């Protein structure tokens, strides 16, 4: 299997402090690879260097064997990027914006319309082609953002926190779309949501304190994760006994009349199970989050072992 992305001895220094030091990893074709790291760990610096937003102090990045430092334009043609805040021109229609991004990607003039039509169909936004982007929901704006990242059919697509700010239903749809795209593209996915990483990724790369502390399969990473809990808020909250019926739920702690801490074990799709139950029972779920402290514990444990 060919190597799509290779990062070799990558280091970057801001003034006198090193943000990252000696980062090394390789990513092969297709699938989703998770990039984890707590705030200030060096994850964003690494992503910005890979995307060409920032020039590294030391080391090299190769995209399909092309050295990004030596041939930046050619390397960037192989890459698509969706930052945490999608780079949308909200006064454009969907079609106008994607036509503009196709031009930016140097797609041949005679191929632009076809490329725009294909990518709109791919992400499910054809019926909104003439709508102003500012009038779209958050979920559909994210779809437009993903469309601009894949319109030129890059080898690797980098997604930075792609479900941030979406409601539970939109998160499910976004995850489904990411899975579909990963069949034809290699995706490097940055996220703080451990359940999301668990559901989507085949491999994990983790950076802490500017250094890489883990690079292995999702299965190996799960060995460090203990049974956890999610915080949920529901406008029409059920009795605790109803929540205990959800597969994988081991304990329910009531925090208020609308908020619960739900403990679970051995169920990587617990978020989806809770969302599905909420939709079926009209619990009106408005928030669901894995407790950050659990992910921080994993970061701490791996950092100590590295």
Q: What is the mean pLDDT of the chain?
A: 89
pTM of the model: 0.75
CA torsion sign for 173, 36, 152, 146 is positive
Q: Write down the pLDDT at residue 71.
A: 95
CB 169 within 8 A of CB 275: yes
Tokens of 111: 């191929």
Most confident of the ranges 42-56, 254-268, 282-296: 42-56
Residue 267's pLDDT is: 58
305 pLDDT more than 80:
no
**Region 265-284 average pLDDT:** 85
pLDDT tens column, 187-241 = 999 887 777 788 899 999 999 889 998 899 888 887 776 657 889 999 999 999 9
Contact yes or no for 94/125 (Cβ under 8 A): yes
| Structural domains for the chain | 3-222 (3.40.50.300), 229-290 (3.30.70)
Label the pairing between strands 259-264 and 285-290: unpaired
Say what the pLDDT of residue 30 is. 83
Does residue 257 have a pLDDT over 50? yes
Instruction: Examine the pLDDT at 170 and tell me if it is beyond 50.
Output: yes
pLDDT of 128: 96
User: pLDDT tier at 293 (50, 70, 90 boundaries)?
Assistant: very low
């Amino acid at each position: 299997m060919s190597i799509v992305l290779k990062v070799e001895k990558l280091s970057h220094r801001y003034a006198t402090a090193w943000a990252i030091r000696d980062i090394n990893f390789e990513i092969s074709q297709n699938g989703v690879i998770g990039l984890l790291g707590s705030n200030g760990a060096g994850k964003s610096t690494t992503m910005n260097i890979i995307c060409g937003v920032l020039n590294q102090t030391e080391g090299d990045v190769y995209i399909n064997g092309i050295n990004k430092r030596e041939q930046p334009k050619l390397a960037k043609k192989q890459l698509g990027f969706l930052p945490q805040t999608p780079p949308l021109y909200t006064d454009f229609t969907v079609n106008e914006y994607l036509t503009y991004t196709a031009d930016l990607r140097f797609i041949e003039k005679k191929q632009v319309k076809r490329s725009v039509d294909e990518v709109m169909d791919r992400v499910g936004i054809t019926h909104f082609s003439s709508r102003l982007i500012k009038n779209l929901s958050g979920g559909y704006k994210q779809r437009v953002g993903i469309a601009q990242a894949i319109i030129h059919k890059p080898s690797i697509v980098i997604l930075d926190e792609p479900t941030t700010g979406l409601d539970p239903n939109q998160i499910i749809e976004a995850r489904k779309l990411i899975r579909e795209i990963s069949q034809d593209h290699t995706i490097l996915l940055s996220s703080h949501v451990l359940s999301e990483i668990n559901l989507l990724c085949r491999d994990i790369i983790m950076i802490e304190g500017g250094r890489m502390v883990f690079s292995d399969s999702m299965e190996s990473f799960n060995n460090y994760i203990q049974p956890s809990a999610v915080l949920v808020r529901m406008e029409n909250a059920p009795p605790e006994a109803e929540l205990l019926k959800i597969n994988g739920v081991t304990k329910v702690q009531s925090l208020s009349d609308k908020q619960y801490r739900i403990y679970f074990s051995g169920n990587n799709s617990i978020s989806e199970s809770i969302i599905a139950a909420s939709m079926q029972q009209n619990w009106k779920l408005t928030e669901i989050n894995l407790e950050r402290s659990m992910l921080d514990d994993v970061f701490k444990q791996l950092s100590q072992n590295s």
